[in-house]
Amino acid sequence: MASTTHIVTVLTILSLLACSVNAQLSSNFYATTCPNLQTIVRNAMTQAVNKEARIGASMLRLFFHDCFVNGCDASILLDDTATFTGEKNASPNRNSVRGFEVIDTIKTRVEATCNATVSCADILALATRDGVVLLGGPSWIVPLGRRDARTASQSAANNLPSPFSDLATLTSKFSAKGLSARDMTALSGGHTIGLARCSLFRTRIYNETNIDSNFATTRRANCPASGGDNNLAPLETQTSNRFDNNYYKDLVARRGLLHSDQVLFNGGSQDALVRTYSNNNAAFASDFAAAMVKMSNISPLTGTNGEIRRNCRVVN
Protein backbone atom coordinates (compact mmCIF):
# COMPACT_ATOMS: atom_id res chain seq x y z
CA MET A 1 0.00 0.00 0.00
CA ALA A 2 2.84 2.34 0.92
CA SER A 3 4.52 1.72 -2.42
CA THR A 4 1.27 2.45 -4.24
CA THR A 5 0.90 5.71 -2.35
CA HIS A 6 4.50 6.58 -3.19
CA ILE A 7 3.89 5.92 -6.89
CA VAL A 8 0.76 8.10 -6.88
CA THR A 9 2.68 10.87 -5.10
CA VAL A 10 5.52 10.69 -7.62
CA LEU A 11 3.10 10.78 -10.55
CA THR A 12 1.31 13.75 -9.01
CA ILE A 13 4.58 15.62 -8.58
CA LEU A 14 5.62 14.81 -12.16
CA SER A 15 2.25 16.03 -13.40
CA LEU A 16 2.60 19.29 -11.50
CA LEU A 17 6.13 19.76 -12.82
CA ALA A 18 4.95 19.17 -16.36
CA CYS A 19 2.23 21.78 -15.92
CA SER A 20 4.59 24.29 -14.35
CA VAL A 21 6.95 24.21 -17.33
CA ASN A 22 4.35 26.04 -19.35
CA ALA A 23 2.25 27.41 -16.53
CA GLN A 24 1.80 30.66 -18.43
CA LEU A 25 0.26 28.91 -21.44
CA SER A 26 -3.46 28.38 -21.11
CA SER A 27 -6.27 27.48 -23.48
CA ASN A 28 -8.29 30.44 -22.17
CA PHE A 29 -5.44 32.97 -22.19
CA TYR A 30 -7.43 35.40 -24.36
CA ALA A 31 -10.85 34.67 -22.86
CA THR A 32 -11.33 38.25 -21.71
CA THR A 33 -8.84 40.18 -23.89
CA CYS A 34 -9.85 38.66 -27.25
CA PRO A 35 -12.84 36.35 -26.78
CA ASN A 36 -13.56 36.01 -30.52
CA LEU A 37 -9.99 35.04 -31.45
CA GLN A 38 -10.64 31.41 -32.28
CA THR A 39 -13.69 32.26 -34.38
CA ILE A 40 -11.69 34.83 -36.36
CA VAL A 41 -8.91 32.33 -37.02
CA ARG A 42 -11.29 29.50 -37.93
CA ASN A 43 -13.27 31.68 -40.36
CA ALA A 44 -10.12 32.88 -42.11
CA MET A 45 -8.71 29.35 -42.34
CA THR A 46 -12.01 28.06 -43.69
CA GLN A 47 -11.83 30.63 -46.48
CA ALA A 48 -8.17 29.83 -47.17
CA VAL A 49 -8.66 26.04 -47.26
CA ASN A 50 -11.77 26.36 -49.43
CA LYS A 51 -9.68 28.40 -51.87
CA GLU A 52 -6.72 26.00 -51.78
CA ALA A 53 -6.83 22.76 -49.77
CA ARG A 54 -3.03 22.60 -49.77
CA ILE A 55 -2.86 25.53 -47.35
CA GLY A 56 -3.70 23.17 -44.48
CA ALA A 57 -0.50 21.24 -45.16
CA SER A 58 1.47 24.45 -45.71
CA MET A 59 0.41 25.80 -42.32
CA LEU A 60 1.34 22.54 -40.60
CA ARG A 61 4.81 22.63 -42.14
CA LEU A 62 5.22 26.30 -41.27
CA PHE A 63 4.43 25.55 -37.63
CA PHE A 64 6.78 22.56 -37.51
CA HIS A 65 9.63 24.60 -38.98
CA ASP A 66 8.91 27.37 -36.49
CA CYS A 67 8.76 25.22 -33.36
CA PHE A 68 11.93 23.27 -34.18
CA VAL A 69 13.99 26.48 -34.33
CA ASN A 70 14.28 28.04 -30.86
CA GLY A 71 10.70 27.09 -30.01
CA CYS A 72 7.25 28.14 -31.18
CA ASP A 73 7.95 31.87 -31.34
CA ALA A 74 6.93 32.94 -34.87
CA SER A 75 10.57 33.57 -35.79
CA ILE A 76 9.94 31.89 -39.15
CA LEU A 77 7.50 34.66 -40.08
CA LEU A 78 10.14 37.41 -39.97
CA ASP A 79 11.31 38.80 -43.31
CA ASP A 80 14.94 39.39 -44.12
CA THR A 81 15.98 43.05 -44.23
CA ALA A 82 19.22 44.89 -44.85
CA THR A 83 20.00 44.61 -41.14
CA PHE A 84 18.17 41.41 -40.16
CA THR A 85 18.63 37.81 -41.28
CA GLY A 86 15.57 35.67 -40.75
CA GLU A 87 14.83 31.99 -41.39
CA LYS A 88 12.87 32.17 -44.63
CA ASN A 89 16.01 31.77 -46.74
CA ALA A 90 17.45 28.86 -44.81
CA SER A 91 17.93 25.88 -47.11
CA PRO A 92 14.87 23.88 -45.87
CA ASN A 93 12.65 26.96 -46.16
CA ARG A 94 13.74 28.86 -49.26
CA ASN A 95 11.06 28.80 -51.97
CA SER A 96 9.39 26.07 -49.96
CA VAL A 97 7.58 27.21 -46.81
CA ARG A 98 4.41 29.07 -47.65
CA GLY A 99 1.19 30.41 -46.14
CA PHE A 100 2.61 33.73 -44.93
CA GLU A 101 -0.16 35.71 -46.63
CA VAL A 102 -2.80 33.71 -44.77
CA ILE A 103 -1.13 34.55 -41.46
CA ASP A 104 -1.03 38.22 -42.54
CA THR A 105 -4.76 38.14 -43.26
CA ILE A 106 -5.58 36.58 -39.90
CA LYS A 107 -3.32 39.01 -38.05
CA THR A 108 -4.99 42.00 -39.73
CA ARG A 109 -8.44 40.74 -38.72
CA VAL A 110 -7.34 39.97 -35.18
CA GLU A 111 -5.70 43.40 -34.80
CA ALA A 112 -8.92 45.06 -35.94
CA THR A 113 -10.74 43.39 -33.06
CA CYS A 114 -8.05 43.02 -30.39
CA ASN A 115 -5.29 45.53 -31.00
CA ALA A 116 -1.76 44.63 -29.80
CA THR A 117 -3.03 41.64 -27.84
CA VAL A 118 -2.54 38.35 -29.72
CA SER A 119 0.87 37.07 -30.76
CA CYS A 120 1.73 35.84 -34.23
CA ALA A 121 3.01 32.66 -32.56
CA ASP A 122 -0.44 31.93 -31.14
CA ILE A 123 -2.14 32.77 -34.44
CA LEU A 124 0.11 30.26 -36.21
CA ALA A 125 -0.61 27.60 -33.58
CA LEU A 126 -4.37 28.06 -33.96
CA ALA A 127 -4.28 28.26 -37.75
CA THR A 128 -2.31 25.01 -37.88
CA ARG A 129 -4.86 23.17 -35.75
CA ASP A 130 -7.74 24.53 -37.82
CA GLY A 131 -6.08 23.58 -41.10
CA VAL A 132 -5.82 19.98 -39.94
CA VAL A 133 -9.42 19.91 -38.70
CA LEU A 134 -10.78 21.43 -41.92
CA LEU A 135 -9.14 18.62 -43.90
CA GLY A 136 -10.79 15.97 -41.76
CA GLY A 137 -8.13 15.51 -39.11
CA PRO A 138 -8.35 15.51 -35.31
CA SER A 139 -8.77 18.59 -33.16
CA TRP A 140 -6.90 19.48 -29.99
CA ILE A 141 -6.99 22.22 -27.40
CA VAL A 142 -4.29 24.76 -28.25
CA PRO A 143 -2.47 26.19 -25.24
CA LEU A 144 -2.08 29.95 -25.71
CA GLY A 145 -0.03 32.79 -24.30
CA ARG A 146 3.11 32.59 -26.46
CA ARG A 147 4.89 35.79 -27.33
CA ASP A 148 6.82 36.62 -30.49
CA ALA A 149 10.57 36.45 -30.89
CA ARG A 150 12.61 39.52 -31.73
CA THR A 151 15.33 37.29 -33.16
CA ALA A 152 15.67 34.45 -35.66
CA SER A 153 18.28 31.81 -36.43
CA GLN A 154 19.04 30.89 -40.02
CA SER A 155 21.77 28.52 -38.84
CA ALA A 156 19.36 26.59 -36.62
CA ALA A 157 16.80 26.51 -39.44
CA ASN A 158 19.46 24.95 -41.66
CA ASN A 159 19.63 22.08 -39.17
CA LEU A 160 15.97 21.06 -39.34
CA PRO A 161 15.19 17.34 -39.76
CA SER A 162 15.90 16.50 -43.40
CA PRO A 163 13.87 14.47 -45.93
CA PHE A 164 17.12 12.57 -46.53
CA SER A 165 17.72 11.65 -42.87
CA ASP A 166 17.94 8.10 -41.56
CA LEU A 167 15.86 6.86 -38.63
CA ALA A 168 18.57 7.34 -35.99
CA THR A 169 19.13 10.95 -37.02
CA LEU A 170 15.42 11.73 -37.05
CA THR A 171 14.91 10.10 -33.66
CA SER A 172 17.81 12.09 -32.22
CA LYS A 173 16.59 15.43 -33.57
CA PHE A 174 13.08 14.89 -32.25
CA SER A 175 14.43 13.72 -28.90
CA ALA A 176 16.45 16.94 -28.64
CA LYS A 177 13.12 18.80 -28.72
CA GLY A 178 11.57 16.63 -26.02
CA LEU A 179 9.62 14.48 -28.49
CA SER A 180 9.68 10.68 -28.33
CA ALA A 181 10.07 8.27 -31.23
CA ARG A 182 6.32 7.67 -31.00
CA ASP A 183 5.67 11.41 -31.24
CA MET A 184 7.98 11.55 -34.27
CA THR A 185 6.16 8.76 -36.07
CA ALA A 186 2.78 10.28 -35.30
CA LEU A 187 3.85 13.77 -36.39
CA SER A 188 5.29 12.32 -39.62
CA GLY A 189 1.71 11.37 -40.41
CA GLY A 190 1.21 15.04 -41.23
CA HIS A 191 2.54 13.94 -44.60
CA THR A 192 -0.90 12.49 -45.26
CA ILE A 193 -1.54 15.94 -46.77
CA GLY A 194 0.57 18.19 -48.95
CA LEU A 195 3.10 18.03 -51.76
CA ALA A 196 6.86 17.63 -52.13
CA ARG A 197 9.31 18.84 -54.75
CA CYS A 198 11.06 16.44 -57.12
CA SER A 199 14.49 17.44 -55.79
CA LEU A 200 13.52 16.00 -52.40
CA PHE A 201 12.50 12.55 -53.62
CA ARG A 202 14.50 12.02 -56.84
CA THR A 203 17.15 9.91 -55.14
CA ARG A 204 14.49 7.73 -53.55
CA ILE A 205 12.59 6.93 -56.74
CA TYR A 206 15.70 6.30 -58.85
CA ASN A 207 18.22 4.77 -56.45
CA GLU A 208 16.48 3.10 -53.52
CA THR A 209 15.34 -0.52 -53.49
CA ASN A 210 12.78 -0.54 -50.65
CA ILE A 211 10.20 0.99 -52.96
CA ASP A 212 7.22 -0.36 -54.86
CA SER A 213 8.29 -0.50 -58.51
CA ASN A 214 4.98 0.73 -59.92
CA PHE A 215 5.00 3.65 -57.50
CA ALA A 216 8.54 4.56 -58.50
CA THR A 217 7.62 4.44 -62.19
CA THR A 218 4.60 6.66 -61.64
CA ARG A 219 6.62 9.27 -59.75
CA ARG A 220 9.44 9.25 -62.33
CA ALA A 221 6.97 10.42 -64.97
CA ASN A 222 6.87 13.85 -63.30
CA CYS A 223 10.36 13.83 -61.79
CA PRO A 224 13.08 13.27 -64.40
CA ALA A 225 16.56 12.11 -63.46
CA SER A 226 17.75 15.64 -64.11
CA GLY A 227 15.77 18.87 -64.28
CA GLY A 228 12.26 19.50 -63.03
CA ASP A 229 13.47 20.07 -59.48
CA ASN A 230 10.36 22.02 -58.52
CA ASN A 231 7.84 19.58 -60.01
CA LEU A 232 5.42 18.54 -57.30
CA ALA A 233 4.01 15.19 -56.21
CA PRO A 234 1.58 14.35 -53.38
CA LEU A 235 3.24 13.03 -50.25
CA GLU A 236 0.52 10.41 -49.98
CA THR A 237 -0.90 8.50 -52.94
CA GLN A 238 -4.59 8.14 -52.14
CA THR A 239 -6.20 11.15 -50.42
CA SER A 240 -3.61 13.94 -50.36
CA ASN A 241 -6.18 16.59 -49.42
CA ARG A 242 -7.74 14.50 -46.68
CA PHE A 243 -6.16 14.07 -43.25
CA ASP A 244 -6.29 10.34 -42.55
CA ASN A 245 -4.06 7.30 -41.96
CA ASN A 246 -3.41 6.45 -45.63
CA TYR A 247 0.15 7.76 -45.26
CA TYR A 248 0.91 4.72 -43.09
CA LYS A 249 -0.76 2.37 -45.53
CA ASP A 250 1.58 3.77 -48.16
CA LEU A 251 4.60 3.09 -45.94
CA VAL A 252 3.55 -0.52 -45.40
CA ALA A 253 3.19 -0.86 -49.18
CA ARG A 254 6.67 0.71 -49.67
CA ARG A 255 5.16 3.83 -51.25
CA GLY A 256 6.69 6.42 -48.94
CA LEU A 257 7.68 9.38 -51.10
CA LEU A 258 10.57 10.72 -49.04
CA HIS A 259 13.49 8.72 -47.70
CA SER A 260 12.61 10.07 -44.24
CA ASP A 261 9.09 8.66 -44.64
CA GLN A 262 10.05 5.12 -45.62
CA VAL A 263 12.70 4.75 -42.90
CA LEU A 264 9.78 4.62 -40.45
CA PHE A 265 8.85 1.27 -41.98
CA ASN A 266 12.00 -0.49 -43.07
CA GLY A 267 12.75 -3.24 -40.56
CA GLY A 268 13.37 -0.80 -37.70
CA SER A 269 11.98 0.28 -34.35
CA GLN A 270 8.88 2.06 -35.71
CA ASP A 271 7.55 -0.74 -37.93
CA ALA A 272 5.02 -2.00 -35.40
CA LEU A 273 3.66 1.47 -34.71
CA VAL A 274 3.38 2.27 -38.42
CA ARG A 275 1.43 -0.93 -38.92
CA THR A 276 -0.84 -0.04 -35.98
CA TYR A 277 -1.57 3.39 -37.42
CA SER A 278 -2.18 1.90 -40.87
CA ASN A 279 -4.92 -0.27 -39.39
CA ASN A 280 -6.31 2.17 -36.83
CA ASN A 281 -7.05 5.75 -37.85
CA ALA A 282 -8.38 6.58 -34.38
CA ALA A 283 -5.08 5.57 -32.75
CA PHE A 284 -3.16 7.75 -35.20
CA ALA A 285 -5.50 10.71 -34.76
CA SER A 286 -5.25 10.55 -30.97
CA ASP A 287 -1.45 10.27 -30.94
CA PHE A 288 -1.06 12.99 -33.57
CA ALA A 289 -3.17 15.44 -31.57
CA ALA A 290 -1.24 14.70 -28.37
CA ALA A 291 2.10 15.09 -30.16
CA MET A 292 0.99 18.40 -31.67
CA VAL A 293 0.27 19.76 -28.19
CA LYS A 294 3.71 18.62 -27.06
CA MET A 295 5.36 20.23 -30.08
CA SER A 296 3.42 23.46 -29.56
CA ASN A 297 4.89 23.66 -26.05
CA ILE A 298 8.52 23.71 -27.20
CA SER A 299 10.27 26.65 -25.51
CA PRO A 300 7.55 29.31 -25.76
CA LEU A 301 8.32 32.91 -24.90
CA THR A 302 5.95 33.98 -22.14
CA GLY A 303 5.46 36.72 -19.57
CA THR A 304 7.58 39.72 -20.51
CA ASN A 305 9.88 37.83 -22.87
CA GLY A 306 9.59 38.67 -26.55
CA GLU A 307 6.80 40.92 -27.75
CA ILE A 308 3.39 41.04 -29.40
CA ARG A 309 4.24 41.96 -32.99
CA ARG A 310 2.00 44.43 -34.77
CA ASN A 311 3.07 42.96 -38.13
CA CYS A 312 4.08 39.31 -38.15
CA ARG A 313 6.83 39.96 -40.72
CA VAL A 314 8.83 42.50 -38.70
CA VAL A 315 9.79 43.13 -35.10
CA ASN A 316 8.14 46.14 -33.52
Considering only CA atoms, which of 139, 119, 156 is closest in space to residue 315? 119
The response to whether 102 counts as a known ligand-binding position is no
Instruction: Say if residue 191 carries a ligand binding annotation.
Output: yes
65, 146, 204, 309: the catalytic one is 65
Helix runs in 114-245, H state only: 120-134, 154-157, 167-175, 181-188, 198-207, 213-220
161 annotated ligand binder? yes
Q: Establish whether 212 is an annotated binding residue.
A: no
List C-alpha distances in Å: 301 to 75, 154, 235.
11, 19, 33
65 catalytic residue (yes or no): yes
Secondary structure element (H or E) that encloses residue 107, with its range: helix 100-113
- On whether 133 is known to bind a ligand per the annotation, the reply is no
Is 250 flagged in the annotation as binding? Answer: no
Report whether 244 belongs to an annotated binding site. Answer: yes
Binding site annotation covers 108?
Answer: no
DSSP designation for 196: E
Q: Is 190 annotated as a binding residue?
A: no
CA 300 → CA 60, 67, 195, 199, 304, distances in Å?
Answer: 17, 9, 29, 33, 12
Residues within the annotated binding site for heme b?
191
Question: Catalytic amino acids?
Answer: 65
Residues within the annotated binding site?
66, 69, 71, 73, 75, 87, 161, 191-192, 239, 244
Residues within the annotated binding site for substrate?
161
Residues within the annotated binding site for Ca(2+)?
66, 69, 71, 73, 75, 87, 192, 239, 244
